[in-house]
Structure 1
Amino acid sequence: MPVQATAPTDPEDLALVRDWFRQLAEHVRAVDFAPARVLFAEDFIAFGTYTDLVPGRDNAEQNQWRKVWPTIDGFTWRLDNVRAVVSPDRLHATGMAVWDSTGYHPDGTSFDRPGRATVAFARERVGEPWVATHTHMSLFRGTPDVSHGKKPSRS
């Protein structure tokens, strides 16, 4: 069978990919780091704004999440447009999504802060929630790369 990036995806698998993105957005909006950790493998690898490669969930939390989440508002994925490519054994997937958020200039004025992500997922058994093993998130061109909001974190 030829490899196809647009091969049909099991609706359950796509729903669980969308659910992962939905859950992450809830944690980002709440600035709640502790419950977000279960969405990521402990040794996941991210591409980051502040560090080229960010190995490990704890490192990503300290050097990425805690520098971004408290500074933005309204982080929401465009869930209807989430795409996924799932392996034939349904244990690995790649999810792609676009987000919207609000960032803040140093003077407190707001700006639109849209971006996109590619997330590699894995799981041990079909039907289990997806866990991110790699993330690559980037802002759309022309979007300021630093936001200056200041919200307290829950955890």
Structure 2
Amino acid sequence: MTDPNTPHGDEGVRHQIRETSGLVGDVLAQVTKLVRGEMDLFRAEVDENLRKAGAAVGMIVAGVVILLTALNVLASALVAGLVELGIDAGWSALIVGVLFAVIAGLLAKKGLNDLKLKSLAPTRTAKNVRRDGEAVKEAV
């Protein structure tokens, strides 16, 4: 039986159902494509940030090696200089040791700050996912 209020009868309803299911299929395909794209961006951003972290670790290691080498030479020179000024050798060594420990602490702190998780987080991906979620909400 055909509905007199429907312009095309059962045929029109079937056509609208096919169009609607096609649109739903298109939306699902676009969302799938979007999610895959965001995952690719996420992977690329994490790889980039891990390379930066590796470089930061390399800088920390290089800084420590150079610091240890320079420490031997400079410490003995500073201790000798303080002894020449009349300070006891023991006190001279303590003063120089504390000075070098402070410098080493500052270098290590800088390196550790460069390795914080916040600086390694994929911020661009998170921003894109939020923006994409808002766009999908608006489209629906």
TM-score, normalization: structure 2? 0.23
TM-score, scaled relative to structure 1 = 0.21
Which has the larger strand fraction? 1
Of structures 1 and 2, the one scoring higher in RCO (CA 8 A, sep 6+) is 2
From the two aligned structures, give the one with the greater helix fraction: 2
Greater Cα radius of gyration, structure 1 or 2: 2
